[in-house]
Chain A
């Protein structure tokens, strides 16, 4: 399988250190409240917290009972109540203002748990901030910028010093600035760098890639079952029992590790081969004498059983994916997406989308297709439509604000679509809320970018998905993700030289900075997506890492 990493790939840094650090920070905070206390945890924080500490850790620090934070009166017998919450209403300053207004100031002490980064896998670190994207790109609130800078600072102190930082995007620049200031304020020191180079990228530099249906295994699992905090909940139809099961998805799962980056079409073959091998291994028992049997049971059986369990889970998941996808004519959906990416047969695509909407197949998918159409066609054929209920008034306004939907200017020729679909809606109104921010709305120049960077391989060539030849394999050979292509190009050129036209089309904000320390380990590259990334992109970057013998740029997703 393509997974066998090149032998000269450098070792990844030990990111489990980050977990320990977060855990110790938490303990420190708990120690600030001596004596017995009840701990109230916000639902969103529970999964991350589970990766970091366990109940016995908390008990050791005199946590008595654990509760979930809910909107209801607190019933507790403890003198001290400790709440662990995400700062919803801004971070400290606003929290304090609210406490003051409510007359609670003084009765409550607040402190910050500086929990920045959670390693989700050997090569994935996450800030676990699902609200990052919305706050930054939609509301224009830069509240997480310092957090992003601090996270970078933490990585820099532990695994740096970095020798080069590349980036593109307004927020990447801000995060870089925040990091730089923190480095200046802190102390410098010399140590062997484990991470040499860093690439920062704003999610809105490439909206096209996350709008495409994912077809690598891990991406599909995420699209269908939602991977949260490195963990997925498989429903009973996957587990073939009456219970759903929560499973950690990472490189420790040997079966998953071999298929996660594979195009889905290869996964079945792989799984059935595995199943056959397993059968053979079990069959060895036959004809064994007692002694051999004893060795078998003590040495092999446990491993086989585990593999068996994992195999049946992933086979179940694959079957469930197949069932769901064939039900929705996935093939046609993909064909439409590919045509849009290629800029080919747009009329047919529009009529497909129109039908998709009319049939009310899936709201999310309809919106995704609309946005893809709007971005790839530079808004020329955009239209607003919705028969999904009045609640989506805001959805459309938000999409427009983000530049995911670009509305046609009045006076331009209306497309057939617009006149037909646009009128039957009752909640089109939303958009105007945001026109005031239209200065921020950017034109997408996808078509030109695609030509410049060669994002869409020529379609007349056969593409063998089993032996991927470039990153396009993650989209069945139809499209190289823009984000990853940029990363590849910049690393290859060691900067943005020669990409002037590309950066102009991307509205600038690119940078490439060289630090004072030149590090020997420039082969491990940290890629930080501000606003989240998809599993497909991570797969593509892993591929890039294997190809170039650099180690998998580490996806450092900021939100989900």
Chain B
């Protein structure tokens, strides 16, 4: 469009003496369009300038000045400060190439009648014209403009329209056969969105009995329906559906799940109790029973301990104040808690670790790990020691562990056990290489030295001499060994 032509258009636009005849309508429309183009292109140019200014000021990437997340935070903080530009850590990344592309060009302008022009070269440079045209169907009219269409589409056409995001009335499909045709076409189109659209219509217009019956033989549609009911939180209908399908265990689970939304612990316990009679599988039923028993126990323990803590007379609660209530905690956390606060209680109490172990049939290993961690945390090394000690039939004591000693050392070390305690357990690690590396790590010199001696490894022992303190007892011990003629060194 030449400049003079544009001027002419402007004239047309502003002239009051515009001749108008109905015959000219087409012409008129074209002119109008053209003039709007002209105006638009000016607008465009203005915006383009703005944009370029902005590019100078605002560099964005990561979450820089002027980014949207930043701005939302700002709005939240104070509505007045939105225009300020704070100093924010800038991460220069993909700005260079992008800032160029931020010309004011907007695709949408294309669809307001502007097709070609010299003012958006940056885009035409990168893209051929044909590809621009290809976007056209993507940028469709707003949805509202589609309304008021009257139509007579077949079930198949209706589904196709829905798939393309267009509206299509479903109300005219009134016979069951038509409705099912709709559903089946939707399913075969693999478009979950459309499947749900049809299901919503069927839910509204079919009795539950009929709908449930038909869904039973249509698994894909059924799964969509279940998901839809779950998302819209239509618990009542979902339960009815599952019952109708004979999925009694699912019904039980779904009801059981409701306990999660009950905050009050007593109400939750009572609810769990009422769940016991639901038709769970035998196995699940045992777990629900456990769940109920656990919460019941936690409520009792919590009441007692809270009182003890407030009373200020029980030493352990003073020394190690509880960080959280024990209510609704998992079983193992509960066991740990009891090993921590109630370790030496007689087996008859609810809070005795041994009682818990019994009641919930906790495995030896599980119990052992939990008790070890709790007692080590308290630095109750005597208790730790006692955990390992067992007597054989001759009455000798020896250390036994269901857990590898390497792991035991790990647990103890994490609870900052002194070397004195650690070396007892390092020494029990079976694999010599592992034993040495652990002993070196935890500075249990005796164990390192003895292991090298047992391995008859003179070279290693010599090497280790450099690592112990000069003039120390360890050094003397090494020297003694090295001078010992009795040992038959392997190297």
Contacts and interface: CB of A to CB of B under 8 A. Distances in A.
B220 A389 contact: no
Contacts of A425: 287, 290, 331
A68 B91 contact: no
Interface residues of A, number: 104
A83 interface: no
Interface in B246-288: 247, 249-250, 252-254, 256-257, 259-260, 280-281, 283-285, 287-288
Contacts of A49: 68
A279 interface: no
B191 A94 contact: no
A19 B107 CA distance: 12
Contacts of A319: none
Given A90-B231, A389-B330, A17 B127 contact: yes
Nearest to B332: A387
Interface in A84-126: 88-94, 97-98, 109-112, 114
Interface in B91-132: 91-94, 97-98, 101, 106-108, 111, 123, 126-128, 130-131
A381 interface: no
A429 B288 contact: yes
Contacts of A426: 287-288, 290-291, 294, 331, 360
Interface string A58-96: 101000011110000000000000000000111111100
A492 interface: no
Contacts of B285: 429
B75 interface: yes
A178 B188 CA distance: 11
A508 B163 CA distance: 27
A177 B190 contact: yes
B306 interface: no
A50 B69 contact: yes
Given A56-B66, A178-B191, A432 B162 contact: no
Interface in A223-246: 231, 245-246
B60 interface: yes
Interface in B31-79: 47, 50-51, 54, 58, 60-63, 66-72, 75-76, 79
Interface stretch (A22-30, A292-300, A476-484): A22-30
Contacts of B328: 389-390
Interface stretch (A433-441, A462-470, A534-542): A433-441
B321 interface: no
A366 to B, nearest CB: 12
B476 interface: no
A504 interface: no
B200 interface: yes
B299 to A, nearest CB: 15
B288 A32 contact: no
B329 interface: yes
Contacts of B107: 20-21, 24-25, 28
A493 interface: no
B36 to A, nearest CB: 14
A491 interface: no
A514 interface: no
A41 B287 contact: no
Contacts of A435: 249
B319 interface: no
Given A58-B68, A428-B284, A358 B192 contact: no
A126 to B, nearest CB: 15
B215 to A, nearest CB: 12
Interface stretch (B11-19, B134-142, B205-213, B422-430): B134-142
B228 A94 contact: yes
Interface centre among A94, A358, A394 (most CB of B within 10 A): A358
Given A56-B54, A432-B253, A436-B247, A25 B139 contact: yes
A98 B448 CA distance: 72
Contact of B93 (A109, A141, A177, A250): A250
Interface string B409-438: 011000000000000000000000000000
B366 interface: yes
A286 interface: no
A53 interface: yes
A359 B250 CA distance: 32
Given A24-B107, A50-B68, A145 B281 contact: no
A547 B94 CA distance: 27
A2 interface: no
A90 B193 contact: yes
A287 interface: no
Interface centre among A247, A359, A426 (most CB of B within 10 A): A426
A14 interface: yes
Interface stretch (A185-193, A204-212, A333-341): A185-193
B66 A54 contact: yes
A355 interface: yes
B250 A433 contact: yes
B253 A429 contact: yes
A247 B61 CA distance: 9
28 contacts: A25-B107, A29-B142, A54-B58, A54-B66, A56-B50, A66-B72, A88-B231, A90-B196, A140-B223, A141-B224, A142-B220, A143-B193, A146-B193, A186-B137, A358-B370, A359-B373, A387-B333, A388-B330, A390-B260, A421-B366, A424-B363, A425-B287, A425-B290, A426-B287, A426-B290, A426-B360, A427-B291, A430-B253
Given A50-B60, A68-B76, A247-B91, 11 more contacts: A16-B98, A17-B127, A56-B66, A66-B75, A89-B231, A93-B197, A141-B192, A145-B190, A189-B130, A355-B403, A424-B366
Ranked nearest first, the 4 interchain pairs of A and B with the lowest CB-CB distance are A93-B197, A142-B192, A143-B192, A28-B108
Interface of A: 14, 16-17, 19-21, 24-25, 27-29, 31-32, 41, 46-47, 49-50, 53-56, 58, 60, 65-68, 88-94, 97-98, 109-112, 114, 135, 139-146, 154, 157-158, 174, 177-178, 181, 185-187, 189, 191, 231, 245-248, 250, 252-253, 306, 329, 354-355, 358-360, 386-391, 393-394, 397, 420-421, 423-433, 435-437, 439
